[in-house]
Amino acid sequence: MHDNREHDVCALLAFYQEAGVDALLGETPVDRLAESPPQQAAAAGAAGAPSPGSRKSRTSQPVESVERRAGTLTPPPSPEAAVAAAREAAKAASSLEELREMLRRFEGCALRATATQLVFADGNPQSRVMFVGEAPGREEDIQGLAFVGRSGQLLDRMMASIGLDRKSAYIANIVPWRPPGNRTPTPQESAICVPFILRQIELANPDLLVCLGGPAAQTLLSIREGIVKSRGRWFRYQTGTREIRALATFHPAYLLRQPLQKRLAWRDFLAIKKALAAVQGALSTAN
């Protein structure tokens, strides 16, 4: 019986996490405007505390509770402090493995507490092309790999159409933790994670960068246009050590909702194929 109850509790908590619940409250409502809530008065009486009508019963217990909580809770860092800490941590990483370990230990982003695990990347970091999306989803959160759900399966087919696979491409997200309920990351959450993806791109050092979706393109390419206007256009991207070409295209999740737009995405991937052929030709000539 105990095992069944524990299993039910774990299943309920998993359901709440999947639904996006990230804070727990009491089981019964409390009238914060009442001078002495019924439950507190009953507890005070059972403990031999002064009667509810006395001044001491109305003031001493709440103050004591607040002081006790203040002594045990650590306030989260300010957004500015979290971004500064992320920049310092990312800058200190000299390899992708070090960057991954720093992200595992980084506590400046609240998404870390609600996600199952870190979703750092997938594919080959030595490849010449890197794809970057916005944030992982449910399947990515379970497996710890980028783009392995329905969107990832479509991305695999899109890459295969131009001769790429996960051995010849590197795939990551701006935010490496799944937001609760697959919601959109807040601007603050994205800002905290940006230094890490910038360093990840610098360390991977691809020849081509492909931004999947508007949020990735706007964040990495510093553009304001939506993805409909920016897709198919080549931009210049500074990796930190050199300048490379970057392309914005539709996110596979968008294509699952708007399949008619796949024809435009196909044009973008043909452009990627042509650009990769040019890079390969330049390397062959140099050798």
User: CA geometry: angle at 211 spanning 207 and 215, to 5°?
Assistant: 150
- Does the structure show a pLDDT above 60 at 16? yes
Report residue 74's pLDDT band, with 50, 70 and 90 as the boundaries. Answer: low
User: CA geometry: angle at 185 spanning 188 and 127, to 5°?
Assistant: 105
The model carries a pTM of 0.76
142-172 residue pLDDT tens: 999 999 999 999 999 999 999 999 999 999 9
Q: Distance between alpha carbon 233 and the CA centroid of its chain, in Å?
A: 26
User: CA geometry: angle at 7 spanning 146 and 105, to 5°?
Assistant: 40
Report residue 181's pLDDT band, with 50, 70 and 90 as the boundaries. Answer: very high
pLDDT value at position 84? 96
Report residue 270's pLDDT band, with 50, 70 and 90 as the boundaries. Answer: very high
The fold adopted by the segment(s) 79-286 is Uracil-DNA Glycosylase, subunit E (3.40.470)
Q: Is the dihedral of CA 230, 251, 234, 190 positive or negative?
A: positive
C-alpha distances in Å from residue 126, one per residue of 96, 161, 166, 206, 248: 11, 21, 11, 8, 21
pLDDT value at position 138? 96
pLDDT value at position 151? 97
- Does the structure show a pLDDT above 60 at 38? no
98 CB-contact burial (10 Å; exposed 0-12 / middle 13-18 / buried 19+): middle
Mean pLDDT of 187-213: 98
Report residue 77's pLDDT band, with 50, 70 and 90 as the boundaries. Answer: confident
pLDDT value at position 22? 60
DSSP 123-181: E-TTSSEEEEES---HHHHHHT-SS-SHHHHHHHHHHHTTT--TTS-EEEESS-SPPGG
User: Nearest Cα to 213, choosing from 271, 157, 151?
Assistant: 151
125-140 residue pLDDT tens: 999 999 999 999 999 9
98-122 residue pLDDT tens: 999 999 999 999 999 999 999 999 9
What is d(CA 87, CA 117) in angstroms, rounded to the nearest whole number?
A: 21
User: Nearest Cα to 115, choosing from 132, 123, 125, 103?
Assistant: 103
pLDDT value at position 19? 65
What is d(CA 56, CA 204) in angstroms, rounded to the nearest whole number?
A: 64
pLDDT value at position 82? 95
CB 130, CB 170: distance < 8 Å? yes
Mean pLDDT of 1-28: 67
- Does the structure show a pLDDT above 50 at 177? yes
The domains of the chain are located at: 79-286
pLDDT value at position 5? 75
- Does the structure show a pLDDT above 80 at 61? no
User: Nearest Cα to 133, choosing from 79, 186, 209, 82?
Assistant: 209
Mean pLDDT of 77-93: 93
Phi and psi at 163, nearest 5°, equal 85, 20
pLDDT value at position 101? 97
Q: Mean pLDDT of all residues in the chain? A: 86
- Does the structure show a pLDDT above 50 at 198? yes
Amino acid at 112: R
Q: Which residues pair with 245 in a beta bridge?
A: 208, 236
pLDDT value at position 284? 79
What is d(CA 243, CA 209) in angstroms, rounded to the nearest whole number?
A: 11
pLDDT value at position 78? 86
